[in-house]
Amino acid sequence: MKIIGLNGSPRKEGNTGFLVKYTLERLEEKGIETEQINLADYNIKQCRGCYECVNAKKCTIQGDDFLEIFEKMVDSDGFILGSPSYHSSMTPRLKAVLDRAGFSGRWYANEMKEKSDSYEWKGTAFSGKLVAPVTVARRAGQNFTFAQILLWATVNDCIVPGSNYWNVGVAGKGGAVDADEDEEGKNILNHLSDNIEFLLKKINK
């Protein structure tokens, strides 16, 4: 069993990175293999809407690191998707990854039909994988970013584990890296890790 964490913050050691790492550490304590991927370390271009992935069955954009990340996502049992809230939205780099992963991941398993035909989707590259958002803001905006990630997860045939509250952190006043002081946020992530462990064990029986 393996869960990866995508940290969408440009600050690798910022509040989002801390909370993603915190969640992964709780999973490691339960015997689940984890890996954190800081997207700030990768060159990711945005989706160009070329539709070449329909026939190629993969993203055809060259010269960046997307396929390396995509393969890690496909090979995992699920992923934590972490982002700070920038004007109530996820960061551009995480959005670029999810746009390309969602688009090419759909054609990974399906064929494009004529305009007059209806689709009976056969799933996606991420069908049945666990996906949980973790979003952070100084005061507000987490829920919009949280909802964006949930919309991506649910349209890509993923399973979304919940917690006893939304997986949001309150941190960063004055630019501070202080998510470690958000005890309520950490407790929410503790319970999230419990639910991820429970579901992984059920799925992998």
Those residues with Cβ within 8 angstroms of residue 123's Cβ, 6 or more apart along the chain or in another chain: 109, 157
pLDDT tens digits, 86-121: 999 999 999 999 999 999 999 988 999 998 999 888
* Predicted pLDDT of residue 26: 98
pLDDT tens digits, 20-67: 999 999 999 999 999 999 999 999 999 999 999 999 999 999 999 999
* Predicted pLDDT of residue 115: 86
Residue 169 has pLDDT above 90, yes or no: yes
Range of the domain at 175: 2-203
**Percent of the chain scored above 90 by pLDDT?**
94
Average pLDDT value for residue range 175-179:
94
Interhelix angle 183-203/15-29, rounded to 10 degrees, is: 50
* Predicted pLDDT of residue 119: 87
* Predicted pLDDT of residue 108: 87
Sign, Cα dihedral of 19, 200, 143, 104: positive
Residue 205 has pLDDT above 90, yes or no: no
* Predicted pLDDT of residue 140: 93
Query: How far is Cα 199 from Cα 128, in angstroms, rounded to an integer?
Result: 11
Q: How confident is the model at residue 204 (pLDDT cuts 50, 70, 90)?
A: confident
* Predicted pLDDT of residue 102: 97
CATH number for the domain spanning 142: value is 3.40.50.360
Those residues with Cβ within 8 angstroms of residue 79's Cβ, 6 or more apart along the chain or in another chain: 3, 4, 5, 6, 73, 129, 130, 131, 132
pLDDT tens digits, 134-163: 999 999 999 999 999 999 999 999 999 999
| SS3 (DSSP) at 130 | strand
* Predicted pLDDT of residue 83: 98
Total domains present in the chain:
1
